[in-house]
Every structure is written in structure tokens, then in C-alpha cells.
């Protein structure tokens, strides 16, 4: 039986993992490859899963914890894709606050605890803004433990992908690549813009037809790792928003993100990633924000006005659930009132991730 290539694409929250996976999947599909995708989150109702499915991809998800803590469910989902889709490759996107993947995912699979997969090299995506803030001593509202987590993610990578280079000058790209190569010696460093497809061919060539090297497990302090995750509040919600007449949902989403950002700025709570997804019939939009001082970025806008839409909000913020939940709920209600719309069927999850407890951790 032919083994399925399993390619894990990690990186911190907001680095562009989902956009990268979409770009890679389209490039592989254009070359005649079948691609399956597994997404992952600490909660349910994921913007990314809905966005990828709407983009025409075969997607399964592992929710309620990271891949390593839900190892059996993760491998079950990959097996299911292998059996139903018979893909050439499965792209897997772990939780953005997850690390230690070599010890908890790669080594168990390489040791044949799971028979049907072969691991491709581990890619970790880096947002240049995070590198500047977290690794070059720039100001950040994130605590030092999150800086530690970010560095550990990069430390275990086979390939570091400097993403979002469309936002950088050539000199900045060169400077950051030089820094990464010096800091993480022996690691392949490439530059890409997943949004515009730049560098994707080079990336695909590095992860297809190659087997991940067997390497030492990460040296990591799980107390610091757990503390880093505990500093982040996770908010997931769904709601239906409706109006007596069609309205511009793109403007509503932009206003909602701006309202949330303003309240978090006043509370001095840094945003790791804020994502909003709206769907009305076959039309949909996805918008995101990856920092308090960033602009809203639309991956896709709705093409027509709509009188109703299902809204999904995912937020990962350096704030306690007690602070985060009312900020987003109040922003949602005030935005609905300003646009003269009604809210219904509101469901909310807001929590701190539990301490990571991987099923396997192999040295």
C-alpha cells in the first residue's frame, strides 16, 4: 500500500498558515495532485475550516486540543482522508500556539506507531512583524513566555518560511533572512508571499518527494510552554445577522473588527489573531487582523449585498476570557445596532487552553 505524504505546516498565530495551505494546495492541484487538509484548534467553529471548504478543498478538522494531545483523532482523520480521497499529500495545520512537534508527532509516526504515512519536512511560517517584535527586541505587549514559544516553533523547523514579503522591501527581506539563518543554523530559509503566490513553487519543491530528517527532539520547558498558552484567551462564536434590506457585509465586518481592535487597545491586550468569516448562500468573506496596530486584511470580500449572513468569529488575544468575552460580544452587539441589523442564534466559547499533555513524547 502506497504511503501518504503528510506535510505539517506550523507557525505562530497570524503567520498565514491557512493562506499558505490554500496557495500550496492550489499549486499541487494544478499539477495533477490530490490534496487533503486537516485543520486544528483548541475550540470548535473554525473560520479556517469553513474558508478552505468554501475554496473547494477536502478538509477535516481536529478540535478541542492540539494534534499531539489528540494524536489518535489526528491520525484517524488523516486515515479517513487517505481512504476516501486517496490523496497524494495531506497538508496539516496545527494550532498556532503549538510546538514540540518533532517529539510528539514526527517521531511517533517515524517509529511506525502509525503505518500509512511518511513525514515531509516540517515547515514553520514566520510573520516578519513577529520576528521584528519578538526576536529583535521591538516593543510588544506579549509576555516573554510567548516570545519563548515563538522561538521554539522556529527552532525545530526543517524549513522556515518568511511569509508576507509583499509587505517588505528587498533590503528588509535580506536582513530578516540573514538573521534567521544565523539564529537557526542549518535550517532552510525561504521567502514567500502566500497571498500573492510568490515563492510557492520553491516551497512546494522542498516539501514534496522529500522525507523529513530524523532529528533530536526539542529541548523545551513545558512549564514555560504551558504558561505561554495560558496567557492567550481563545474566543470562538457563531451568530446570524439579518436585516430588512440587503447591506454591505464587508463594511459591517470591517467596522466590527475596528470596534474590537479599539476596545482591546484601550485594555492593552495584544492581538495574536482575529478572524471573521461571513457566509450568505454561495457568497462569503474572510477578514483578519494580526496586531493592534495593523490594518484589516480581507482574504476575500462578499461580491453582493446580503440581507442575512452567518458570522463566525475566532479571536486569539493576550487577555483573560473574563476580559475578552465581553469586549467581543459588546462590539458585535453595537455593530449590529449601528447597521440596523438583528442578531440571533449566538453561540460562544471563550476559554484558556489547558496545559499541553501529548499522548507521545519521544526523545
Residues of the chain by 3-state class (helix, strand, coil), percent to 5 = 35, 25, 35
What pLDDT, in 10s, does the model give residues 301-316?
999 999 999 999 999 9
Give, in order, the Cα–Cα distances in Å from 346 to each of 116, 174, 271, 343: 41, 46, 23, 7
* DSSP symbols for 28-92: HHHTT--EEEEEE-SSSS-HHHHHHHHTT-EEEEE-SS-TTTTHHHHHHHHHHHHHHT--SEEEE
What pLDDT, in 10s, does the model give residues 160-207?
999 999 999 999 999 999 999 999 999 999 999 999 999 999 999 999
Task: List the grid coordinates of 84.
Answer: 476516501
What's the rounded mean pLDDT across residues 343-352? 96
What pLDDT, in 10s, does the model give residues 282-341?
999 999 999 999 999 999 999 999 999 999 999 999 999 999 999 999 999 999 999 999
The pLDDT, as a whole number, for residue 171 is 96
Report how far residue 190's alpha carbon sits from residue 14's, in angstroms, rounded to the nearest whole number: 18
* DSSP symbols for 186-206: T-EEEE-BTTTTBTHHHHHHH
Which domains are assigned to the chain? Answer: 4-228 (3.40.50.300), 231-351 (3.30.70)
Residue 136 pLDDT level (bands cut at 50, 70, 90): low
Q: Taking all residues of the chain, what is their mean pLDDT, rounded to a whole number?
A: 94
Residue 348 pLDDT level (bands cut at 50, 70, 90): very high
The pLDDT, as a whole number, for residue 116 is 79
What's the rounded mean pLDDT across residues 250-264? 98
What pLDDT, in 10s, does the model give residues 85-107?
999 999 999 999 999 999 999 99
Best CA proximity match to 9, nearest among 117, 65, 90 = 90
Amino acid at each position: 500500500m502506497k504511503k501518504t505524504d503528510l506535510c505539517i505546516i506550523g507557525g505562530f498565530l497570524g503567520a498565514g498558515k491557512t493562506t499558505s495551505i490554500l496557495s500550496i494546495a492550489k499549486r499541487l492541484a494544478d499539477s495533477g495532485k490530490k490534496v487533503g487538509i486537516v485543520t486544528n484548534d483548541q475550540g470548535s467553529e473554525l473560520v479556517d475550516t469553513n474558508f478552505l471548504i468554501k475554496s473547494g478543498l477536502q478538509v477535516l478538522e481536529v478540535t478541542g486540543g492540539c494534534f499531539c494531545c489528540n494524536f489518535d483523532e489526528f491520525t484517524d482523520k488523516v486515515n479517513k482522508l487517505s481512504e476516501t480521497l486517496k490523496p497524494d499529500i495531506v497538508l496539516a495545520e496545527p494550532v498556532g500556539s503549538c510546538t514540540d512537534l518533532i517529539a510528539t508527532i514526527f517521531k511517533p509516526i517515524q517509529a511506525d506507531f502509525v503505518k500509512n504515512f511518511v513525514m515531509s519536512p516540517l515547515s514553520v511560517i514566520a510573520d516578519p512583524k513577529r520576528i521584528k517584535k519578538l526576536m529583535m527586541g521591538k516593543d510588544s505587549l506579549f509576555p516573554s513566555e510567548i516570545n519563548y514559544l515563538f522561538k521554539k516553533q522556529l527552532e525545530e523547523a526543517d524549513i522556515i518560511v518568511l511569509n508576507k514579503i509583499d509587505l517588505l522591501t528587498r533590503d528588509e527581506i535580506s536582513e530578516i533572512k540573514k538573521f534567521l539563518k544565523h539564529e537557526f543554523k542549518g535550517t532552510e530559509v525561504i521567502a514567500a508571499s502566500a497571498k500573492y503566490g510568490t515563492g510557492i513553487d520553491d516551497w512546494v519543491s522542498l516539501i514534496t518527494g522529500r522525507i523529513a530528517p530524523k532529528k533530536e527532539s526539542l529541548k523545551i520547558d513545558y512549564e514555560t510552554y504551558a504558561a505561554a498558552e495560558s496567557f492567550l484567551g481563545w474566543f470562538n462564536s457563531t451568530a446570524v445577522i439579518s436585516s430588512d434590506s440587503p447591506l454591505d457585509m464587508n463594511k459591517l465586518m470591517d467596522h466590527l473588527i475596528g470596534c474590537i481592535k479599539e476596545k482591546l487597545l484601550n485594555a492593552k491586550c495584544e492581538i495574536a489573531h482575529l478572524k471573521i468569516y461571513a457566509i450568505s448562500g454561495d457568497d462569503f468573506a474572510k477578514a483578519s487582523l494580526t496586531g493592534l496596530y495593523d490594518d484589516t486584511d480581507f482574504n476575500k470580500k462578499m461580491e453582493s449585498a446580503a440581507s442575512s449572513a452567518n458570522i463566525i468569529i475566532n479571536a486569539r488575544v493576550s487577555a483573560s476570557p473574563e476580559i475578552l468575552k465581553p469586549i467581543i460580544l459588546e462590539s458585535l452587539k453595537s455593530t449590529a445596532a449601528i447597521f440596523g441589523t438583528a442578531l440571533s442564534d449566538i453561540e460562544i466559547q471563550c476559554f484558556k487552553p489547558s496545559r499541553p499533555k501529548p499522548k507521545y513524547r519521544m526523545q
